[in-house]
Amino acid sequence: MKVRLNKFLSSAGVTSRREADRWILDGRISVNDRTVDELGLKVDEDRDVVRVDGRKIQLKQKPIYILLNKPAGYLVTLKDPFGRPTVKTLLPASLGRVFPVGRLDLATEGLLILTNDGELAHRLSHPRFGVKKVYVAKVRGEPSKDALRRLERGVYLEGEKTAPAKAALLTPGQKSSWLKIELQEGRKREVREMCRAVGHPVLELRRVEFAGLVLEDLKPGQWRHLEPREVRRLKLRVDLA
């Protein structure tokens, strides 16, 4: 059966579809020993030989689904050219290759999914599916009701309005307060920029829920395999079941 090359690579657990497209344009992918640069190219799963940087890619791999409580100070990437710690270093090498779903910035901690299931990762990250993400944020000062309403209605970041959100004041304080913020989009540093836009910069940020999954008692740096029922629920949320 023929499938698009980027889907083949994501299904093999090599990377996400989006990153696969970048690799194709960078000339890192070959099919039957010929370098390709065509994004829409289709390959035969049974006959064609696909390589990334010369390494042959096998399609069939056992799916792996990991829930990690990411500590602050770790990059959500597999490798950093400057040698900074990445989430990959928190997992045993015996797990094999998994990649993160979505993003958390360096200073943010909390729930992160890692998997080799490229199709599920692609859908969970795609805005079309509106996957719910819940954060708790320690912010400077005490946000007023008007500031919370602005967060909920959406604020303008770089000329574009954020999608409606839910915001609640958990613990008020004169110097700092804790907020709960629920989003269904995933712009870069969105929670931090939204809070800054209403005059309350983030001091600490933690993601506590993603696509219905919660951290429970996992401490920062700890991880676990997702239960089969949890994987089924994730797939149902993005129409993969």
- Residues known to be catalytic: 105
> Measured between alpha carbons, how far is 150 from 133 in angstroms, rounded to an integer?
19
> Measured between alpha carbons, how far is 240 from 236 in angstroms, rounded to an integer?
6
Q: Kindly report the CA angle at 154 between 148 and 155, in degrees rounded to 5?
A: 95
Q: Which two tokens stand for residue 128?
A: 């079309």
**E strand segments, 53-201:** 55-56, 65-70, 99-100, 109-115, 133-140, 156-157, 160-161, 166-171, 176-183
Q: Which two tokens stand for residue 233?
A: 């629920």
Taking alpha carbons only, the member of 57, 58, 114 closest to residue 90 is 114
Taking alpha carbons only, the member of 208, 187, 211, 189 closest to residue 120 is 211
The percent of the chain in helix, strand and coil, each rounded to the nearest 5, is 25, 30, 45
How far lies 108's CA from each of 75, 156, 205, in Å? Answer: 10, 22, 5
